[in-house]
Amino acid sequence: MNRRSLAGRLAALAAVTATLGGCAPDGGDDGAASPVSAPPGSTAQRTPGSGGTSARTPQGTLLVTDFGADTVTFVDPAGRGAAADLGSVRVGTAPYGIALGEDGTAWVATAEGVAAVDTRTRVRTALVPHRTDTGPVTTGEYRGGGMGIALSPDGSRVYVGVNVPGGKGTLEVVDTERREVTRVVPVGRRPFDVDVSRDGRQVYATNHDSFDVSVVDTGDWTARRIEVAPYGTEGGLGSWLKPHYAAVRPSDGALLLPFEGERLAVVDPGTGRVRTEDMTANTHQHGVTAGADGTLYVVGTGPIDPSEDDGPSLTVRTPEGDERVVPLDGPHETVALSADGRTAYVSGGFTRDGYWNGLSAVDVATGRVTRLPVGERPLAVAVLGGQGTGAG
């Protein structure tokens, strides 16, 4: 286990931050806004050449958000090269997280609002504008608008974490039948991820730039803050040692947040207690998801300090804490599982520079990795008929 001193680590991070810009500060991105394909609520929005709407989408198809475009792309995981790309649907500027409903509707967080996509016919059926004022619609790592997203267990609500550049974010509640924002709850800064308790009574926003998780009670819509900072909060917005994504542990509802391939923060959302367990990958970690059996899959994006840290990887961690680390080629961001749990799909989009346009399909049993070139900076992944999305 690499036990570097915090002081030495922060010195290295400061040098890298000055060079790369990184995922540390809540900076301003000067990317131009992409035009929307149609006004909110419009239907049948598809990219040219993506095929007709008569062909139904088969189970096992992947849906990825193209953070570098205004689309989501349907992917055949058995395809190779161009054959894997089944076409794209325009959803809104810089789509981030995705949540898949049992009725086949995919809900996509974009800079402009929450898009609804009928995955069976591959059309956008709605774009619900954000109620939160996030400033001009832009693209890039620090753009305002929707980030993490999740559905209530009964499918009646969508919860989306909304980033407000330079300030605290919000959790917006979307009524899936009325397709409008019905409530706005203040949360922390830059809510990378949103998760929901199994009973639907609590929503969790993982707030990257405020070192915390907001626990929102869906009964009275109050929010509690739990600090999650196993390395401390020194460095503030300039720190890289902040939470990114979380997974809800199936066995007891604890929140699991990985840090640096060294520490797993285990959060009791009821008491606010945080404890840590050792991890082994020694790499800057982002996306995480939990399988139905409690196995944890954690994405390592690569080294912060190349002289000390290991490269990109996927950690497969058993409920008992045993880990296998599968090396990956190039940075990755999020992970989702196939329906049978045999394949993990890891997105190459990455929230910082160094991303690539594709997915890595990892055979969980053997560790064999197959690269699928597809999408434009693919960030989140959902599997039709699968175990979860790549948002955490």
Asked if the model's pLDDT at residue 71 lies above 70, the reply is: yes
Asked if the model's pLDDT at residue 362 lies above 50, the reply is: yes
Q: How many CB atoms lie within 10 A of CB 155?
A: 15
Which pLDDT does position 32 carry in this prediction? 33
Question: How remote is the C-alpha of 101 from its chain's centroid?
Answer: 16
- Predicted confidence band at 58 (pLDDT cuts at 50, 70, 90)? confident
Kindly report, residue by residue over 299-339, the tens digit of the pLDDT: 999 999 999 999 999 999 999 999 999 999 999 999 999 99
Kindly report, residue by residue over 251-293, the tens digit of the pLDDT: 999 999 999 999 999 999 999 999 999 999 999 999 999 999 9
The answer to whether 388 touches 294, Cβ cutoff 8 Å, is no
Across all residues in the chain, what is the average pLDDT?
Answer: 88
Q: Which amino acid is at 133?
A: D
Report the DSSP beta bridge partners of residue 94.
none
- Predicted confidence band at 66 (pLDDT cuts at 50, 70, 90)? very high
Asked if the model's pLDDT at residue 8 lies above 60, the reply is: no
- Average pLDDT value for residue range 103-112: 97
The set of long-range contacts for 350-353, using a CB threshold of 8 Å and a minimum separation of 24, is 350/301, 350/377, 350/379, 351/23, 351/67, 351/141, 351/286, 351/379, 352/20, 352/21, 352/22, 352/23, 352/141, 352/301, 353/20, 353/21
Interatomic CA distance for residues 132 and 205, integer angstroms = 16
Kindly report the CA angle at 107 between 102 and 111, in degrees rounded to 5? 170
What structural domains and CATH numbers belong to the chain?
37-383 (2.130.10.10)
Kindly report, residue by residue over 130-145, the tens digit of the pLDDT: 999 999 999 999 999 9
Which pLDDT does position 229 carry in this prediction? 98
- Average pLDDT value for residue range 73-79: 93
- Which tops the pLDDT comparison, 25 or 322? 322
SS3 state of residue 200: coil
Kindly report, residue by residue over 225-245, the tens digit of the pLDDT: 999 999 999 999 889 999 999
Asked if the model's pLDDT at residue 26 lies above 60, the reply is: no
- Which tops the pLDDT comparison, 57 or 126? 126
Asked if the model's pLDDT at residue 365 lies above 50, the reply is: yes
* Among 83-87, 96-100, 179-183, the least confident range: 83-87
C-alpha distances in Å from residue 282, one per residue of 269, 279, 295, 354:
27, 8, 19, 19
Check residue 9 and report its DSSP letter: H
Which pLDDT does position 20 carry in this prediction? 39
Burial class, 84, CB count within 10 angstroms (exposed 0-12 / middle 13-18 / buried 19+): buried
Kindly report, residue by residue over 185-224, the tens digit of the pLDDT: 999 999 999 999 999 999 999 999 999 999 999 999 999 9
Kindly report, residue by residue over 152-180, the tens digit of the pLDDT: 999 999 999 999 999 999 999 999 999 99
Asked if the model's pLDDT at residue 181 lies above 80, the reply is: yes
- pTM, full prediction: 0.89
Q: Which amino acid is at 346?
A: V
Interatomic CA distance for residues 86 and 65, integer angstroms = 14
